Chain A
Amino acid sequence: MLSLPIFLVASVVKIVLVIFILLTAVAYTVWLERKVVGHMQNRWGPSRVGPFGLLQPLADGIKFLLKEDLTPPHVYRPLFIAAPMIAVICALTSISVIPFGTAIPVAGHIIPLQITDLNIGLLLILGVTSIGVYGVALAGWSSNNKYSLLGGLRASAQMVSYEICLGLSLVGVLIVSGSFSLQQIVESQRGYFWGFIPKWNIFYGCQFVAFFIYLMAAYAETNRIPFDLPEAETELVAGYHTEYSAMKFAMFFMAEYANMITVACLATILFLGGGNGPLFGPPVLRLILPTFYFVAKVFVFLFTYIWVRGTLPRFRYDQLMAFGWKFLFPLAIANLVVTALVVAYRS
């Protein structure tokens, strides 16, 4: 255990670092998306600001800060202002329980690379995500505009529906690893099956089915193509954030990308073994490698996100609901039953 002052200093340093890295990652995920989708569509993407357009996120940030912050006269002001804050706070909170690697020794103290390790870490993320729905729903309602309202209603219906599949797909992993603490879930995936296949949850029994369900539900939860109906440009102008401008719009934007990163981190921890991987070399390298593996896995997941966006068209709304309730939901239940049977048989 750490003493109180050291604990406080370590926590503050970790929080500042994590928020800085998260926001930078958000900015550069946007850059990556524009670049990759650009190349997929046979154009260059951002290329003017800095080498390879690398300074484009900075320019975007300055633009968001300096633009006029319009509040239309017919909105319900308190909720109109609160909605983007709810969205961004929820998106930033859930990163606090993510373990980024092994514990590192700093000046004689062992510091875990995680803001806090809760017994109910996974439940905290699910709870915060379910509160995050309010940001979108209230933005749509308080804008007092029919496109916004339709976007908000679609978003809340979609998120409530797919949250069930998301939760059910995670229960299988919980049965296998027997803990809600993300640190212990990562620990349980250390080692190899038969000496060469990594002991990640995705390779355990039929957990790849759970991974598929998680992937679909996660895309729907973060309102990404092919599930981006809440902000479908061709039907709803811009959906729930039609009336927002400048920094308030940027907060929704940040919340969406921060949620993407959280979802990618969670997928890495639950299914892809977190920071586990082959360790070699000098002691310093052994400390850094888990974090490197973690970031690499998250990057692969984020790239898949962008790849899917560049490839698939948007669902129709009835298709979205039918897919969620009539296909994913029964599949998740079946996967749960089979996983429980396998675990009961092996123990």
Chain B
Amino acid sequence: MLHLVLFLVFGAICVAGAINLLVQSHPISSALSLVVVMASLAVEYLLLGAEFVAAVQVIVYAGAVMVLFVFVIMLLNAGVEERTKGSQVALILGIPGVLAGGLLVAWVLIERTGTATVGLGALPGFPKTIGNLLFHDFLLPFEITSVLVLIAIMGAVVLASRPEPKNPEKES
């Protein structure tokens, strides 16, 4: 009972954070709302029983990734965003699109109860289980993903490193 109440409360906080992210006009406030969304998602994982995923969510997303976001915003010294009237397409297609998507998700959840949903505390979230799954059952996808990440890191290094400045004295 207590778990269900907590789950709903943090779900509400998560949605509120996401809406606040869009409404806020200052980049830092938006980034911090995103941190709130990430942290409340972590609590939801914890309530579902996925302890390890919750901890990793906080460490990686709320901790590392968002700190870098905030860091970049501070360095750029980005000001308050300008309000425009928005595009016509978004106004005409946006609301029906959101409604259709919401209806689709609701329909799937109602029709397919039991296959795609999980009870509170039902996920096998122990670090040992996750380790076995990652390094035994899903070893190949895991390794391929790690190679992808490595390529991305190398790309970032290549893009970030400046070309060697030409030394005029050496040439002459």
Contacts and interface: CB of A to CB of B under 8 A. Distances in A.
Interface residues of A, number: 26
Contact of A123 (B32, B56, B62): B56
Interface string B52-96: 101110110011100110110011000000000000000000000
Contacts of A163: 63-64
Interface in B41-59: 51-52, 54-56, 58-59
B97 interface: no
A157 interface: yes
Nearest to A164: B64
9 contacts: A79-B32, A130-B59, A131-B58, A134-B67, A134-B70, A138-B70, A149-B74, A153-B71, A153-B74
B67 A120 contact: no
Interface of A: 79, 118-120, 123-124, 126-131, 133-134, 137-138, 140-141, 149, 152-153, 156-157, 160, 163, 180
A131 B57 CA distance: 12
Contacts of A141: 28, 70, 74
A120 B52 contact: yes
Contact of B55 (A124, A157, A160): A124
Given A118-B51, A119-B127, A157-B71, A79 B63 contact: no
Contact of A160 (B35, B68, B74, B75): B68
A270 B39 CA distance: 27
Interface of B: 28, 32, 35, 39, 51-52, 54-56, 58-59, 62-64, 67-68, 70-71, 74-75, 126-127
A250 B55 CA distance: 30
B63 A130 contact: yes
B35 A156 contact: no
Task: Give me the 3 closest cross-chain CB pairs, A-B, nearest first.
Answer: A130-B63, A123-B55, A127-B58
A137 B75 CA distance: 11
Contact of A130 (B28, B51, B58): B58
Contact of A120 (B39, B55, B68): B55
Nearest to A179: B127
Nearest to A133: B67
A123 B52 contact: yes
Given A131-B58, A153-B74, A180 B67 contact: no
A79 B24 CA distance: 14
A79 B58 contact: no
Contacts of A140: 74
A130 B39 CA distance: 12
B64 to A, nearest CB: 6
Nearest to B74: A141
A90 to B, nearest CB: 11
Nearest to B71: A156
A118 B127 CA distance: 12
Given A134-B67, A160-B64, A160-B68, A152 B74 contact: yes
Nearest to A160: B67
Given A127-B55, A156-B70, A134 B28 contact: no
A153 B32 CA distance: 16
A130 B62 contact: yes
Contacts of B67: 130, 133-134, 137, 156, 160
